[in-house]
Amino acid sequence: MPGPIDIPHLYSPEDVVRFVGRELAAARDQEKAHQMAQYMKTRMPFYGVQKPGREHIARAVKWHFRPSSQAEYERLVRLLWNQQHREEKYLAVQFARTFRLFITSESMPLYEFLIRDGAWWDFVDDIAIRLVGTVLRHERPQISATLDAWIVDEDRWIRRAALLSQVMHREHTDHARLFRYCRACMSEEDPFILKAVGWALRDYAKAAPDRVERFLAEFNGSLPGAVERAVNKR
């Protein structure tokens, strides 16, 4: 367990970024950093600080800093995101989730930037489900057209985000839109897209199993293997 933290005054996003960098550097573990980079198949450097080791940093910021405006919220997220190490980017996404007041349609351009720039599942899935998905639940009319454009976007991570933004909506899922998105992606060969289709359907089946079963029956047993495996995963 990490020891007590010497928490400085966190008056600005810049203060937070310096604090985060100092704490991560103090907890650096080169062996774990190498293992984490191998697992994520990335050349982006790690400090080697896994999620439990980052939690005390996240809690300290949560209790000692509050963005005063949308602009300050976005500046904090972007400043952390622009740091060198992957853990700083993880914390950027975590702070974007922490300050719920700003998880609105106004933040969608920021979330789209993070998805396009992150371009890997460890970033995209969290952003899609916890950020974009939260906006969708509360402001569906405001962002439906955006997601309709995302599902046909050239960027596979944007398409994946459009699918996964509907995970965890359960009985509040717009099933017509979900099924339309799944149909649009069903002929793809990209495993990241097909697994997302299966994941979204499996999650919705927890609320409406019969409706999902009828949708799957449309494909007469010709579901892509990646979709079928994801749907049936236990």
Token pair of 41 as six digits: 């198949």
What pLDDT is stored for residue 5 in this prediction?
Answer: 64
What pLDDT is stored for residue 80 in this prediction?
Answer: 98
Q: Domain of 35: which CATH number?
A: 1.25.10.90
Burial (Cβ within 10 Å: 0-12, 13-18, ≥19) of residue 221 = exposed
Do 75 and 90 share a structural domain? yes
What pLDDT is stored for residue 134 in this prediction?
Answer: 98
Q: Which domain holds residue 166?
A: 104-234
Do 123 and 149 share a structural domain? yes
Instruction: Say if residues 78 and 110 touch (Cβ distance below 8 Å).
Output: yes
What pLDDT is stored for residue 84 in this prediction?
Answer: 97
Report the distance separating Cα 226 and Cα 189, nearest Å.
9
Query: Model-level pTM?
Result: 0.94
Task: State the 10-residue block means of pLDDT for the chain, 234 residues long.
Answer: 64 95 96 97 97 94 94 98 98 97 98 98 98 98 98 98 97 96 95 96 96 93 88 80
The CA-atom distances, in angstroms, between 201 and each of 10, 35, 118, 186 are 43, 32, 25, 12
Do 27 and 121 share a structural domain? no
Residue 87 CA to chain centroid, in angstroms? Answer: 14
What pLDDT is stored for residue 51 in this prediction?
Answer: 95
Do 137 and 83 share a structural domain? no
Do 57 and 5 share a structural domain? yes
Q: What angle separates helix 140-150 from helix 175-185, to the nearest 10 degrees?
A: 10
Report the distance separating Cα 49 and Cα 55, nearest Å.
10
Do 204 and 140 share a structural domain? yes
What pLDDT is stored for residue 161 in this prediction?
Answer: 98
What pLDDT is stored for residue 222 in this prediction?
Answer: 87
**How many domains are contained in the chain?**
2
What pLDDT is stored for residue 116 in this prediction?
Answer: 98
Do 124 and 91 share a structural domain? no
What pLDDT is stored for residue 10 in this prediction?
Answer: 86
What pLDDT is stored for residue 182 in this prediction?
Answer: 97
